Structure 1
Amino acid sequence: MGLRVLVTGAGGQLGRELAALLPAAGHEVVALGHGELDVSDARAVGEALRRHSPEVVINAAAYTDVDGCESEAGLAYRVNALGPRNLAQLCERLGCELLHVSTNYVFDGRSERPYEPWDRPNPISVYGATKLAGEEYVRHLTGRWYIVRTAGVYGEGRNFVRTMLRAARERSTLKVKDDEYISPTYARDLAGGIIRVLEGRLYGIYHITNSGACSWCEFAREIFRIAGVEAEVVPVPSSGYPLPAARPPNGVLASPEGPELRHWREALSDYLREELGR
């Protein structure tokens, strides 16, 4: 029997895929973008949940500009922390479940192995700190919660893949970091994994990414290889590519009991086939 699901952040890469895949999986969905629901507005959250009466809320709303969060910490906190707080309190009051989407940036990246769901978070950026605060609100304010951490998401919207393809049209040589590691994750695959978590009905923390891992430099080279783009990718250390926000050098997540997704190279190939065929 299908679930009544309300998706916040429906205009983002993940939100769009959830809005498309949930009905295909037999679930009823109400998809609300930021213009329709600002999760940092507690009154608006209450009105939306009462109006739509969901059994599950998936919170895909977030302020994800990692560097922007450094200069707009107040906004980042309102969206990434107070938004989940509002949802958790209202979900608890109204008796619905909450699945909150989080990030590998809650970790400092110093581990020599992929991060497990039970590893101790230690964020090193405002983005990571506000996302962790959101997790804590969810865990403490409702008893019916799922937290899904992910990494390196790309899909229908602004993302690393599109940035690289655009940059390659402008110049033949690109410098890309080779000392930060992630598991690039196709938003469509992530949405499918989230739906499987919901259908499993087992609360807790999950790590969901496409399998395998690579540096951003390796990711860029694979994008160009698959796309048939002639571009030289020059590996550089993070120290040679200074940004306002610190990034975890090891951003790879392990998934001991979460849904296992296909390898990132296979997912990227499918994404680019569709992207370049438009």
Structure 2
Amino acid sequence: MSGAARRVLVTGAGGQLGRELAVRLPEYGYEVVALGHGELDIADAGAVGEALRRHAPEVVVNAAAYTNVDGCESESVLAYRINALGPRNLAQSCERMGCELLHVSTNYVFDGSSERPYAPWDRPNPLSVYGATKLAGEEYVRHLCTRWYLVRTAGVYGEGRNFVRTMLRAARERKTLKVKDDEYISPTYARDLARGIARIIQGGLYGIYHVTNAGSCSWHEFAREIFRIAGMDVEVVPVPSSGYPLPAARPANGVLSSPDGPALRHWREALAEYLREELGRERHA
């Protein structure tokens, strides 16, 4: 990039994706203002407007969300405030300021009944409060903002609470684990997702993108690969979702495809890099 760096304001900077965006966007020549929830509550319309006026970004990347899928079932009002009204506030402020908005959403806007990976043009039909509130956020962005990018992703892991760390922790407590084998995703490394988002912004082509690491697997397969790479002797027993009841329904098929989104490396390669760093930190802790 030539000339002055474009300024990007990242919301949700304390989360797994937000942390990576703060580090990776400068690799692409962007100046980043990274705001965590303590610095900006996107559900507060006045605070959002003030933050955009103060920092004057050219692009806003919204990585803020209430992502506790089961918690959303019992805290639906809070989920709606963060996942729907937050994007509404950002969309309206971005429109007033004339800046671009990239909003991060989820595969949980789909019901999982498709026999193929979901494309950007497929009709959403969420099964859970989480999915419904995220879809409401998408609709606010699309209707209230002129210059928008919508990025749906799935199975994100990085620096924070995630499935990989949960599996590693559980394996140190017991040698047999039960993991669902009838729900499919494309596990996505937050670092790769952040770089994909940077490339989308660079392209300047507004619209809907599905961005995940390549390939797909069941949660059971994902767990087995975690332990294989980590060199841990753990028996992973496949179980159906019906044997692992949770408050929120999940889509059986959560795999996404995108004809024109940034291509990311295979999920196994990304997981191997993540685990090398994760286990290396543990050894030196």
Give the equivalent residue in structure 2 for 1:31.
34
Mapped to 2, the partners of 1:266 and 1:152 lie a distance apart of 15
- Give the letter for the 1:110 counterpart: S
1:233 aligns with 2:240: no
Question: What are the superposed Cα offsets for residues 252-278 of structure 1, whole Å, 9 maximum, x if unpaired?
Answer: 000110000000000000000000001
User: In 2, distance between residues paired with 1:221 and 1:165?
Assistant: 11
1:220 aligns with 2:226: no
Query: How many Å separate the matches in 2 of 1:183 and 1:35?
Result: 31
Counterpart in the other structure of 2:113: 110
1:3, 1:239 → 2: CA distance? 49
> Which of 135, 138, 141 is the equivalent residue of 2:138?
135
Residue 19 of structure 2, aligned match among 2, 9, 16 = 16
Indicate yes or no: 2:243 matched with 1:269. no
Distance in 1 (alpha carbons) for counterparts of 2:30 and 2:102: 15
Amino acid at match of 1:60: A
1:156 aligns with 2:167: no
Q: Residue 204 of structure 1 aligns with which residue?
A: 207
* Aligned equivalents of 2:194, 2:145: Cα separation in 1: 23
Query: Equivalences for 1:11-90 in 2 at 5 Å?
Result: 11-90=14-93
**1:95: which partner in 2?**
98
Q: Report deviation, 1:12.
A: 0.2
Per-residue CA deviations over 1:140-185 (Å, capped at 9, x if unaligned) read: 0011000000000000000000000000001110000000000000
Partner of 1:262, secondary structure, is coil
Alpha-carbon distance between aligned partners in 1 of 2:211 and 2:228, rounded to the nearest angstrom: 26
Tell me the TM-score normalized by structure 1.
1.00
User: How far apart in 2 are the matches of 1:221 and 1:82?
Assistant: 38
CA distance in 2, matches of 1:165, 1:255: 31
Q: Normalised by the size of structure 2, how large is the TM-score?
A: 0.97
Pick from 251, 256, 261: which aligns with 1:248?
251
Percent identity at matched positions? 84
Could you tell me how far apart the structure 2 residues matched to 1:168 and 1:94 are? 50
Which amino acid is the alignment partner of residue 127 of structure 2?
A: I
* 2:251 alignment partner, SS class: coil
Consecutive unaligned residues of structure 1, counting only runs of 5 or more, are: none
Paired AA for residue 239 in structure 1 = S
Distance (whole Å) between structure 2 residues aligned to residue 138 and residue 100 of structure 1: 8
Aligned ranges for residues 158-177 of structure 1 at < 5 Å? 158-177=161-180
Runs of 4+, deviation exceeding 2 Å:
none
1:7 Cα deviation (Å)? Answer: 0.0
Unaligned residue ranges in structure 2 (runs of 5+): none
The aligned length equals 278
